[in-house]
Structures are given as C-alpha cells and as structure tokens.
Amino acid sequence: MKNYLATKWKSLTAWSSITWGQGLIGKAKVVLAWHGLAIVIMASVALLMPDVELELRPAMKEPALLCHQQQSFDEIIAAEDVTNQALLEKFRHQPEVLVRIMTSDSYMQRDNWAVYQERMRKIARGQCREVAHGDPVTANWMEWQSSKDDAAPLKPKRMQVTYQGQTYWAYARQWQKATGEVVAAADRAPLMISRKSPDGNDRSPPPVVDETQAQTSIKRRPVPPFARNESYAQVRVVLLRDGWLPVISQDADHCMEGDSRCEGRPEMQSCSGSGLAICRFRWQRDGQWLTICTAGEEQAMFHSVCE
C-alpha cells in the first residue's frame, strides 16, 4: 500500500510539472486537480473523526430551537403582526408617523409576539422542537468546523445537528463544544412547549385527572395557537405533549354511541347536534383551565378557545 501511494504521488507531481508549463490552461488544470485532491483528503479525514458533542452556551437563557427544515426558521423570522401591518399600510405616506409607530414599545411587543406565536406553531406541528441545557446534541466534525465562521450577525449561520437520532438545523452561535460542566438548574433555559420525561424521551400521554383533585397553582404558560382547519385529534396530541391533562366532570354530557367527536375523549363537557354542532372539551395544567370548542357534525374541528 505504501509503495502504491508513493507511485501515485510521483505520477501526480510529474504530471503537475509537465502540465504547469502548458500556459494558463495548464496552470488552471493543475490548480483544480490539487484543489480536488485537498477536498477528497479533508472529506476522508472528516469521516474518520467522531461526532462533536455540543452543549448550549451558558449565556443562553431560553431554549434553543431545532428545526427539520431551514424554511421553518425563515417563516418564524418573517412572521408579522396583523395590527402592525395595518398601521404600516394606513400611514405608508406619512414617514414621520411611521417612524414613531415602528419605534414604539407596543409595536415591538406585537412584532415579538407574532414571532413567538409562529415559533410555538412550528413546535406544535412537529416541524421544530426545543432543547435546553443538558440535552445530548451532536454535530458532524466537518459541520462543526465550518460553523465557526459566523461573520454575518444579521444572518446567523445555521448548521446540521443530531438529537435523539434525528437530524435538525440549528443556529451555530447558540452552541459550544461540550465542556462537561453542569449548568445549575436555576440557570437552565426553560422549555416553552416541548415537555420531556426525565429519561429524555417525549412524555407519554398522562393519566386523566379528576376535576375535584386538580392543582391550584397560579403558574401560567402559553397555549399553543391552533388553526380552524385542524382536527381536534391533532389539537389533543399537542395538548398532551405540552403537559395538559384532560379533565373529567361529573356533570358532563353523555357521549352518544358512535359519535366520533367525543368517543374515547373523557374531557368532553358537552356536544350539540344542531347548528354548528359545537363540542366543548376541558383541560387543566398547573391550575390553568382551558376549554376547547370544536365545530362539525361528523368530525370535531377546532373552532376556538372558549375560556
């Protein structure tokens, strides 16, 4: 093998010397050949290198977002508030007014809320997920090396990472090579929507909680935004994933046999067979109560958050 490589090396250097003297075209051929060889060598080295274990930077006070596609990041960044857009349209010919509007606290709050809602929407639909300090994230060695060149603060570099066997995109500047140091629980970035069990796996459906035994904590967390074209089955999966518990009420209506809207859903409070065919489903989480209203006679489709 050693003799084979030595022979190939001599052949390449001899070819380079001859070709280099053939003018500009010859020089271009030599440069391209050596450039290609360098790429092949680097790729081979990268394949032999183990994946790099990563951890969130200590300064991160919010969870990092991992998305299956880069487009999800673009859509989150581009999220717009309806009220803000209406104001911009109304005063588009009055620059001074626009400046006051766009620099106001209320404008920025609405804009940030629109981005936050889109972020939650992506997580609720399984397009993205959140990870915090201590979650085992890795990156390919070559990917990690190239991610260090992040000289464009207005367009942060993204890199591919692996989490629980799946590949995601992430913002490179949020991560650092694992140091082994444990971040104190008080300093860890709290998850907004994704809830995980202690073993790191997705939380399995929780047991039903009786209404009379519900906790009365005042802690509040945001409700994922749902769209009216979503079935209640999809809404239910998201709520369970987010830690909401179905509530059984003794004075709830009886679900009629064969009614697919409420069968197997003990949180149903009432279901109407006329008009919009509204059904009400009640949930609880940390003292926060939530009633979901659905519409549809054959299939329960999300209509609104009733309470």
pLDDT, tens only, 25-46:
888 888 888 887 777 776 666 5
Verdict on whether the full-model pTM lies above 0.75: no
The amino acid at 48: L
Q: For 253-276, what is each residue's pLDDT tens digit?
A: 888 878 888 888 888 898 887 777
% the chain with pLDDT above 90: 11
Q: What is the pLDDT of residue 297?
A: 82
**Tokens for 117?**
């809602």
With beta carbons less than 8 A apart as the criterion, state whether 208 and 248 touch.
Answer: yes
Q: For 60-100, what is each residue's pLDDT tens digit?
A: 878 899 999 999 999 999 988 888 888 888 888 998 988 88
Rounded CA-CA distance 90/86 in Å is 6
Strands (E), the chain: 52-56, 64-67, 128-131, 137-139, 158-163, 166-171, 175-177, 209-210, 245-248, 268-271, 279-285, 288-295, 301-305
Mean pLDDT across 38-61: 74
- Pseudo-torsion of CA 88, 90, 92, 93, nearest 10°? -160
Q: DSSP label at 152? A: -
